[in-house]
Chains A and B, each alone.
Chain A
Amino acid sequence: MEKLLDVKNLHVSFDTYGGEVQAVRGVNFDVKKGETLAIVGESGSGKSVTTKALMQLIPMPPGRIKEGEILFEGKDLAKLSEKEMQKIRGKDISMIFQDPMTSLNPTMKVGNQIMEGLIKHQKMNKTQARKRVVELLELVGIPDPESRMKQYPHQFSGGMRQRVVVAIALACNPKLLIADEPTTALDVTIQAQILELMKDIQKKTDSGIIFITHDLGVVANVADRVAVMYAGKIVEVGTVDDIFYNPKHPYTWGLLGSMPSLDSQDAELYAIPGSPPDLLNPPKGDAFAARNEYAMQIDLEQEPPMFKVSDTHYAATWLLHENAPNVEPPEAVKARMKGMATNASSDTEGERV
């Protein structure tokens, strides 16, 4: 499939009074047409900064893109001027933020907020735009769109507001949709509706989606591929099945092991000890080493490169090196892997890339 977005070696830093915070430290990933890439990782691992960098929304200063290319349909977004970027934002790439209330303007009618982008990017006139707004609201499942579009955001419930946000993001048929924790603030029942909605729409429009979340349940539900981020780097990337049924990185093991499954009643949860590193002075070697129970001497000294596990599956851990001892993932993860042993290769060695 054709690559819609290709991010190469992205580095983003913030200059704070305490020093340089290296929020993103060399990230590579791509998104294909019609595919959903989920980025997971804990708070502060640089998920939002990565996606804001794609949209050139990093406040500069204090932020800056130190290095890297962001190729969107072959164009390097990092090199575009603000003017050129504005043409892309909202049209080719659009974004959904976490908080539905703050991403809507409380003093503007919902319909007008959706129309704004249409008039600006699609050069529609008012009547055309209004027709499209009704279509969009119908698409996102808001009943009675004709009268709803004349209301203000506070007259909508949380879930409806997020639907409106989705409608705004979809207004210009973007080729790439970036959703930064679009359902974290919502109840599970409403979350389920929004996820269904996004999947439906993707089927119709064939757009690529980058979906940020730290809920692995949501990942399992929406993603085609998953990238796991830790301390500003992608440590493992693969298809959902690769990641959930054949994880290779000890951090991914930790993430999966810390979720109770419905039948693991009394076994203690596998918890990753400690706290994430301070990106103001990232540790030498593997950033995860201090919390990794499988850490080896080399983890403390050198950063692991990406190892290839299969054509779709890569992980950055020295455990995949030919010299590394064979280690068993924790019980909780093994239980998971059993369920899906057929879907993915299970060698413990990878090929270096």
Chain B
Amino acid sequence: MDNYKPQKELFVPVERNEGESEKISRPSLSFWQDSFIRFRKNIGAMLGVFVLIVLIVMAIFGPMFNEYGENDQDLSVAKMPPKIEGLGWIGMDGTLTTVQTADTLEDAERKALMRFSNQEEFIDMTVLSNGANGEAEVRAVYDPYAAKGLEENFWFGTDGLGRDLWTRTWLGTRISLFIAFLAAAIDLVIGVAYGGISAYYGGRVDNYMQRIIEILVGIPNLVVVILMILILDPGILSIVIALTITGWISMARIVRGQILKLKNQEFVLASRTLGAPDNRILRRHLVPNVLGLIIINTMFTIPSAIFFEAFLSFIGLGLPTPTASLGTLIDDGFSSIQIYPHILLFPAIVISLIMIAFNIVADGLRDAFDPKMRE
């Protein structure tokens, strides 16, 4: 290359195309498109989205997959273990297992039989140690489906009143999600409006509005919630009110902080010098620029609302029976956790999945929206 002699013909001036030098070679992408591309590359977040979609679809359609109703009680099939054809290998074979120990083998076997109401023909007994060294141990596997002559399977088993847990788990998920979405939506509306007005008008308005928030924050959240629940009749609405009565504050603070920062940005000043009225500035300039943060914050609000609902139900302040929510189901399950762990297991898995998935997705959104990652 070094000894290469360029041809003479190449040394002719070229006409420079005026517009050419201002060309932008990259494709045009709006902020949202750009963020979306980044989000799509985040495998964890995409997985979270997938899990959420599956859970939401199940919450909507799950209960329709079998004939059992939410409140169909049948004490004869109470506390049935979960059974799904073909999934026996992960323990969903519809059997109950117990391991009993006693001084002698007979005692142990008797105890095991008693545990399953002496229905000997449906119990499969294995001796683990025969009591020769002073302690006998047997394992009994009981097949209640055979014992009760059931053709149908309860996929997630039944609870203490014989209600189908599959139906109730998904209905509970639906209710919990509904409460969470509703609470998040109300938080969003109040929080954005309150924070937005407080920051945008500033001065004395801001001052008073911030004092109100400080007072609200000063009262312990749980006290407010418990008072609300006691005053109102227990139900979905009262839980939502209890959740939102202080829940909007964090949204209001975030929005206020952001708008305080934005309202002195030069593009807002430019709009003001053009004579833009307040509502145009709010609508066209401020809201679109806080939207990312609002979305992220909402994504974090939803799982915490679900968790808080579960917590309230667990301490007995939640939804009244027989309404199912993830919280009431977990509460139910907890009372028989040792003998019938499946009653607790499924709602607990669902609630954990929801919480983890929402948090991962919210994290992914935050990374995708983060302006620092932009070039």
Contact = CB atoms under 8 A, between A and B. Distances in A.
Contact between A and B in the complex (any CB pair below 8 Å): yes
A295 B11 contact: no
Interface string A271-286: 0011100101100000
Interface string B7-46: 0111111101010111011100000000001100100000
B375 interface: yes
Contact of B6 (A21, A273, A278, A321): A321
Main secondary structure of the interface of A (DSSP, over half): loop
Given A295-B16, A325-B13, A17 B25 contact: no
A278 B24 CA distance: 8
B85 interface: no
A127 B20 CA distance: 64
B375 A18 contact: yes
Given A17-B38, A17-B41, A274-B21, A323 B6 contact: yes
22 contacts: A17-B38, A18-B375, A274-B20, A274-B22, A275-B22, A278-B25, A291-B21, A293-B16, A295-B16, A296-B12, A297-B9, A297-B11, A297-B14, A299-B14, A305-B2, A318-B11, A321-B6, A321-B11, A323-B6, A323-B10, A323-B11, A325-B13
Nearest to B19: A274
Interface in A288-332: 290-302, 305, 318, 321, 323-325
A16 B375 contact: yes
Contacts of B10: 296-298, 301-302, 323
Contacts of A323: 6, 8, 10-11
Contact of B21 (A273, A280, A281, A294): A273
Contacts of A21: 375
Contacts of A296: 10-14
Contact of A325 (B6, B9, B11, B18): B11
Interface of B: 2, 6, 8-14, 16, 18, 20-22, 24-26, 37-38, 41, 375
Contacts of B20: 274, 290
Contact of A295 (B14, B22, B25): B14
Interface residues of A, number: 29
B11 A275 contact: no
A278 B26 CA distance: 9
Given A17-B38, A274-B22, A323-B6, A292 B16 contact: yes
A151 to B, nearest CB: 30
B374 to A, nearest CB: 10
**Across the A-B interface, the 5 shortest Cβ-Cβ residue pairs:** A274-B21, A298-B10, A323-B11, A290-B21, A297-B10
Contacts of B24: 278
A279 B52 CA distance: 40
Of the listed residues B2, B6, B37, B41, the one surrounded by the most CB atoms of chain A closer than 10 A to its CB is B6
Contacts of A302: 6, 10
Contacts of A275: 21-22
Contacts of A318: 6, 11
A352 to B, nearest CB: 8
Contacts of A281: 25
B14 A300 contact: yes
Of the listed residues B2, B14, B18, B37, the one surrounded by the most CB atoms of chain A closer than 10 A to its CB is: B14
A297 B2 CA distance: 19
A325 B25 CA distance: 31
A324 B11 contact: yes
Nearest to B375: A16
Contacts of A305: 2
A297 B14 CA distance: 6
A327 B26 CA distance: 34
A256 to B, nearest CB: 19
A274 B18 CA distance: 9
Contacts of B9: 297
A212 B38 CA distance: 34
Given A278-B26, A297-B10, A305-B2, 17 more contacts: A17-B37, A274-B20, A275-B21, A275-B22, A280-B26, A291-B21, A293-B16, A294-B13, A295-B13, A296-B11, A296-B12, A297-B11, A297-B14, A298-B6, A300-B14, A302-B6, A321-B11
Contacts of A290: 16, 20-21
A273 B18 contact: yes
Contacts of A291: 21
Contacts of B25: 278, 281
Contacts of B8: 323
A325 B8 CA distance: 10
Contacts of A298: 6, 10-11
